[in-house]
Amino acid sequence: MNQKIATVLKTVQKPGRYAGGEYGQVIKDKSQVKARFAFCFPDTYEIGMSNLGVRILYSRLNAEQDIWCERSYAPWVDMQEQMQKYDIPLWAHESGDALTEFDFVGFTLQYEMCYPTVLNMLGLAGIPIYAKDRGEEFPLIIGGGPCTYNPEPVAEFFDLFNIGEGEEMLTEIVRLYVTMKDEGSYTKAAFLRRAAATIKGVYVPSLYDVQYNEDGTIKCYTPLYDDVPAKVQKQIVEDMDKAYFPEKLVMPYTETVHDRIMLEVARGCIRGCRFCQAGMVYRPVREKTPGTLDCQAKALFEATGYEEISLSSLSISDYTKVEELTDKLLSWTDENMINLSLPSLRVDSFTKELMDRIASVRSGSLTFAPEAGTQRLRDVINKNVTEEDLLRAVNVAFDAGKSTVKLYFMQGLPTETNEDLEGITTLAHRVCVAYHQNPNRNKSRGVQVTISVSPFIPKPFTPFQWEAQDTLEVMQQKQAYVGECNRDKRVRYTHHDAKVCRIEAVLARGDRRLAKAMALAHEKGFMFDAWSEFFDYDKWIEVFEETGIDPAFYANRAYGLDEVLPWDIIDCGVTKAFLLRERANAYKEKTTPSCREQCSGCGANCMGGERTPCPKGGK
């Protein structure tokens, strides 16, 4: 460890965030390494160490003998003060080396409000934030993660993005770098062009010219060279049983957000919620077999000693072999006192059998997401659950002794009325009534229902990507109205900050012209905007005003159905024709069956002609 770093650790809170040396970290001989990769998480150590994607990619890169992947996290404010005082650049945990000594500096972009922290980390590292200002002496800056499905607001700060799933793509990218270095053909420009031309899923923003119409909308994207793809198609892992998964983890010295084994059972979602980006961009559905998952869980337990296993997917109860898997896990987790956690449960597939499997190993509340307060609006968003489904599910929980339930809803959805907002509190009240009418309830406890309501944010690659978000004033009025409708003391009402949601909408639907606002925000010291104590809406508005950006143009404007969208440069597999059909169905209040019931021809199963077309005739 750098001596300066060791000295300042004594002066900061939670020095374990920065000390490195964790059990399970990978140390390599630099003389045997041909490429060094610094994997950066633009948030605190406690959050970054819990991220499953980082764990997978860190181990996957390090599986290559001549590639060394290390980790870096956003230092908290007290550490940043010490770094500036003692002139310490941002470093990697394993070696203690400054990020400027690496070949690649990669960021996972999980949440739009982390963008300022990305620029903050580059600044702390002494790396120019704009790609055009970085010469050959600086690392290549690469981005991945869900936000790269619209990378345009931060496109000018990155050399390249990997679009889609990174286990193989990221390795391909670094291997190409090693090959070109060995050949003697490497220059930054030559590498970026060759990567874009030869590796599926690589997006190099500098290789495209963007032109705008007089009304501010995008006119076109034009590749600068014939061998650069006109659209960048995401890369996916075809066979999840063969997908790389680490058998060991880096074990933190401090408590993290998720101190547990995260077992990824599937990718993709059979549902088609029209507001949900993840349900679209992670298609098609691919599952791991119970045998594979059981082996992976055992390996991680033996390597870590964690006392909880969380089964991770977009909807765990939609996993086709959930009963077989839980039986396999319970055959050895019970005797080892390991809790089994099943998040992301849907009310229509939550059963007594499933409850029986987790009742012995998990206590506490259950969470469901009706999303809307009336059946009409649930049909609009294609939630495909009913009030009867919810009441049946909570009664299963009440039968098992549960007395606390959390319900997630959205406000501001297309076609929403006051009746839909009132329905949120009405539904929560009916859950309370169901508890007291349940003869098997825990009579020693009262029921507690929490409703959490989030403003709607139109996201790329969803049927609602063209919709306008409510104005800030309307969002706040609706939040107050839901509060006024709640007259049941057993129902606790919480809601997300409408101001944060408005800025998030701007960043989610923005284009490259936001770069100047992001750069000014960096100059003004923006960071940790995902944290409420650092987020300042008025300062964001000041930044937009100073850079000539109208946030309403991105957040509160309905995009034209024939408009070129900022993310049209990306092909996520789901076709725009399908999204338009789903949008039309929403306004007809017409639902679409799940993929398991009927193929709706979204395009994901036929992407690039690489997979067998859907057996039910989807085109």
Q: What CATH number is given to the structural domain containing 29?
A: 3.40.50.280
Whether the model pTM is above 0.85: yes
Percent of the chain with pLDDT over 90: 81
Provide the domain count of the chain.
1
Residue 421, domain member (yes or no): no
pLDDT at 540 over 80: yes
Mind listing the pLDDT tens digit for each residue in 496-532?
A: 999 999 999 999 999 999 999 999 999 999 999 999 9
Percent of the chain with pLDDT over 70: 96
Which of 398, 399, 405, 373 has its CA nearest to residue 386?
Answer: 373
pLDDT at 565 over 90: yes
Residue 243, domain member (yes or no): no
Residue 181, domain member (yes or no): yes
Residue 152, domain member (yes or no): yes
pLDDT at 423 over 90: yes
Residue 318, domain member (yes or no): no
Alpha carbon 567 to chain centroid, angstroms: 17
Q: Does 617 or 54 have the greater pLDDT score?
A: 54
Q: In 402-433, which positions are buried (b, 16+ CB within 10 angstroms) versus exposed (e)?
A: bbbbbbebbbbbbebeeebbbbbbbbbbbbbe
Q: Does 191 or 7 have the greater pLDDT score?
A: 191
The token pair at 253 is: 């010295």
For position 606, what pLDDT does the model report? 63
Span 313-335, mean pLDDT? 89
For position 41, what pLDDT does the model report? 97
Mind listing the pLDDT tens digit for each residue in 569-603?
A: 999 999 999 999 999 999 999 999 999 999 999 99
For position 348, what pLDDT does the model report? 81
What does the alpha-carbon distance between residue 355 and residue 346 come to, in Å, rounded to a whole number? 12
pLDDT at 193 over 90: yes
Averaging pLDDT over each range in 165-179, 236-250, 308-322, which range is the top one?
165-179
Q: Which residues are CB-neighbours of 512 under 8 A, at least 6 positions away?
A: 152, 153, 155, 156, 205, 210, 566
Residue 34, domain member (yes or no): yes
Mind listing the pLDDT tens digit for each residue in 67-97?
A: 999 999 999 999 999 999 999 999 999 999 9
Mind listing the pLDDT tens digit for each residue in 327-354?
A: 999 899 888 888 888 776 788 877 777 7
Structural domain that includes position 72: 3-233
Residue 113, domain member (yes or no): yes
Residue 139, domain member (yes or no): yes
For position 354, what pLDDT does the model report? 75
Q: In 132-165, which positions are buried (b, 16+ CB within 10 angstroms) versus exposed (e)?
A: eebeeebbbbbbbbbbbbbbbbbbbbbbbbbbbb
Within a 10 A sphere around the Cβ of 615, how many other Cβ atoms?
Answer: 8
Q: How confident is the model at residue 613 (pLDDT cuts 50, 70, 90)?
A: very low
**Range with lowest mean pLDDT among 127-136, 216-225, 356-365:** 356-365
Q: How confident is the model at residue 363 (pLDDT cuts 50, 70, 90)?
A: low
pLDDT at 566 over 50: yes
Span 160-164, mean pLDDT? 97
For position 346, what pLDDT does the model report? 81
Q: Does 8 or 199 have the greater pLDDT score?
A: 199
Q: In 489-523, which positions are buried (b, 16+ CB within 10 angstroms) versus exposed (e)?
A: eebebebbbbbbbbbbbbbbbbbbbbbebbbbbbe
